[in-house]
Amino acid sequence: MKKVSRKVGKYELGRTIGEGTFAKVKFARNTETGESVALKVLAKTSILKHKMVDQLTSSCTEFQIKREISIMKIVRHPYIVRLHEVLASWTKIYIVLEFVAGGELFDKIVHQGKLPENECRRYFQQLIDAVAHCHSKSVYHRDLKPENLLLDTYGNLKVSDFGLSALPQQGVGLLRTTCGTPNYVAPEVLGEQGYDGAAADVWSCGVILYVLMAGYLPFDETDLPTLYQKINAADFACPFWFSSGVQRLIHKILDPNPKTRIQIEGIKKDPWFRKNYVPVEHRDEEVSLDDVCAVFDDIEDSYVAEQSQNFEGGPLVMNAFEMITLSQGLNLSALFDRGQIMESLQMKFSQDFLVLWQDYIKRQTRFISQKPAQVIIASIEAVAESMSLSVNTRNFKTRLEGISANTGQFAVVLEVFEVAPSLFMVDVRKAAGDTLEYHKFYKTLCAKLDKIILKAPEGMANSSLLRTMTC
C-alpha cells in the first residue's frame, strides 16, 4: 500500500476536505495532543498576486485573508469556528482551525428538507447567540447562510467563513459595500445609500430561520431583477405548517425597513425564541494578534518546518485517524461479508474505530468501489466528458470544470483513496459554484457511475450508511 507522510510543524496532514480559488483545507492532527484540526493552506504567491493582504477598502468579492484571520481571533465563541493559530513557511500560510465534523447545515436541509420546529429553534438560538457576540465586537458577518453554518459532533451550530466580514474600524457609521449571497441579502444592502451591518445580519438570520422551517427559500427567482424586487417588497408567504409564533417573529425580522426591523435584543425577548432557551456560557478571552503580524510581516524566525514523503504508484492510503473523522467512528462492518475484506479492515482499524454514527455519514458525498483505481478514474473521466465538463487528472485526483447557466463557474474535485486492499473510497467535493447545483450533480454522477459503485449487500438496503457510501 502506498504511504504518504506530510507534516507542517507539529501537525500531521491528511486528506483535502475543501478547496476554493485561493486556498485548500486539509484535515490534520496535532501530533502533540492528538487533537483533530482543519488546516487552511494558502500559497503566498497567490496572496500577493491577488493583492489580498491589506486591501481593507477593496471590493468584498476579494478574499481578504488577513482580515478574516484577525476577525476570527476577535470573535471567539462556542458557536463560532475557533481559530487556534496561524503559521507560515517560506512559501505558504497555514491557518489552524477547529475541525467541525458534522458538515454544513445546508447539507442537512438538502437531505431532510424542512426540520422539526424545536430543532429549528435550537439552531436559530445558537445562531443569534453567535451573531450577537460578533456585533458586541462591532463585527458584521455579511454572508450568513446555511452553507456557512457548520454542525459539530454534538449537533451544535458553528458559524464559519468570515471572509466578507467588516472589521471594527470599518463598522463605524454605515457600510456601503454590496456583498453576500443574493437570496439572503437584506434589501438595504442592494441599494447605494449605505446600511447598518447589524440590521443586515438580522435579516439574513430571518431568511435562514425560514429555510430551516420550510426547506426552501422565501425569495427564490431565476433572474436577479425579479429576486431583488421581491426582497425589496418582502414579498413572501409562510407555509401552513409554520406555527403562529414563528410566523410573527419571521415577519418582524423580514421587515424591509431596517429602522423598524426587530433587533437582536428584541429577538431574544420574543416568546417563540425564548422557549427552552439556555444562553451559552461564555467568557471573553484575551486575544493576541502577534502570530498574525509575524506571518504577514514575513518574519523568518517564525517559519514552521514542512516535511513530506511521497511514493508514486497508487492512490493515497486513508489512514486510521482520517478514517475515524469521516463519521466519528465509522463502522464499515455493515458493508461487507465476514470475508477477506473485513479481515483486512479490522487489521487496519481497531475495533474502537468500528462504532457508527449514521446520521452524519448519510449527508456525505463519497462512494466505495472495488474496481481498480485506474478504472475508477477512467470511468469518472468518461462520464465527465459525456457531461461536457473539462477534465484534469493528476495522482488519482480529478478536477471537473464547467459553466453553469445559473451561477457561472462550476468545479468539482474527486479523489480516490485506498482504505483496504482492493477497496477504494472516492471523495467528491465542491470546489466552485452553487451548493444545491453540486448536490444535483452528485446524484447524476452516481447514476452514471452505477456499474463501478459497490452496492449494498442483500438485506442491508435500508442502511443509511450504505445509502451514502454507495450513493
Lowest mean pLDDT among 82-86, 288-292, 411-415: 288-292
Average pLDDT, the chain: 77
Question: What value does the mean pLDDT take over residues 414-428?
Answer: 85
Q: Is-above-0.85 flag for pTM?
A: no
Lowest mean pLDDT among 346-355, 434-443, 452-461: 346-355
Domains of the chain: 5-100+303-309 (3.30.200.20), 105-274 (1.10.510.10), 316-466 (3.30.310.80)
The C-alpha cell that represents 462 in the structure block: 435500508
Q: Is the pLDDT of residue 356 over 50?
A: no
Q: Is the pLDDT of residue 187 over 80?
A: yes
Question: What's the confidence (pLDDT) of residue 312?
Answer: 56
Distance CA 442, CA 365 (A): 7
Q: Is the pLDDT of residue 8 over 60?
A: yes
The C-alpha cell that represents 304 in the structure block: 514552521
Q: Is the pLDDT of residue 275 over 90?
A: yes
Question: What's the confidence (pLDDT) of residue 321?
Answer: 52
Asked if 298 is an active-site residue, the reply is no
Active-site choice (143, 161, 201, 427): 143
Question: What's the confidence (pLDDT) of residue 438?
Answer: 82
CA distances 282 to 22, 69, 77, 142, Å, are 33, 21, 7, 23
pLDDT tier at 349 (50, 70, 90 boundaries)? very low
Question: What's the confidence (pLDDT) of residue 443?
Answer: 87
Report whether 78 contacts 65 (CB < 8 A). no
Most confident of 45-59, 223-237, 324-338: 223-237
Q: Is the pLDDT of residue 357 over 70?
A: no
At 87, give phi and psi (nearest 5°).
-125, 160
Question: What's the confidence (pLDDT) of residue 259?
Answer: 93
Taking CA 319 as the corner, what is the angle to CA 315 and CA 321, rounded to the nearest 5 degrees?
145
Question: What's the confidence (pLDDT) of residue 250?
Answer: 97
Question: What's the confidence (pLDDT) of residue 333?
Answer: 37
CA distances 329 to 214, 322, 353, 361, Å, are 32, 10, 5, 10
Question: What's the confidence (pLDDT) of residue 433?
Answer: 78
Question: What's the confidence (pLDDT) of residue 410?
Answer: 83
Q: Is the pLDDT of residue 215 over 50?
A: yes
- Collapsing DSSP to helix, strand or coil, 385 comes out as helix
Most confident of 284-293, 313-322, 337-346, 447-456: 447-456
Tell me the per-residue pLDDT of 133-171, one tens digit each, with 9 for 90 and over.
999 988 888 889 988 899 988 889 999 887 655 554 444
pLDDT tier at 209 (50, 70, 90 boundaries)? very high
Question: What's the confidence (pLDDT) of residue 267?
Answer: 97
Question: What's the confidence (pLDDT) of residue 434?
Answer: 77
Distance CA 450, CA 428 (A): 15
What is the sign of the dihedral through the CA atoms of 185, 188, 189 and 191? Answer: positive
Tell me the per-residue pLDDT of 247-262, one tens digit each, with 9 for 90 and over.
999 999 999 999 999 9
Q: Is the pLDDT of residue 236 over 80?
A: yes
pLDDT tier at 58 (50, 70, 90 boundaries)? very low
* Binding site per annotation, positions for ATP: 49
- The closest of 125, 227, 244, 228 to 252, measured between CA atoms, is 244
Tell me the residue type at 66.
K
pLDDT tier at 326 (50, 70, 90 boundaries)? low
Q: Is the pLDDT of residue 348 over 50?
A: no
Q: Is the pLDDT of residue 362 over 70?
A: no
pLDDT tier at 207 (50, 70, 90 boundaries)? very high
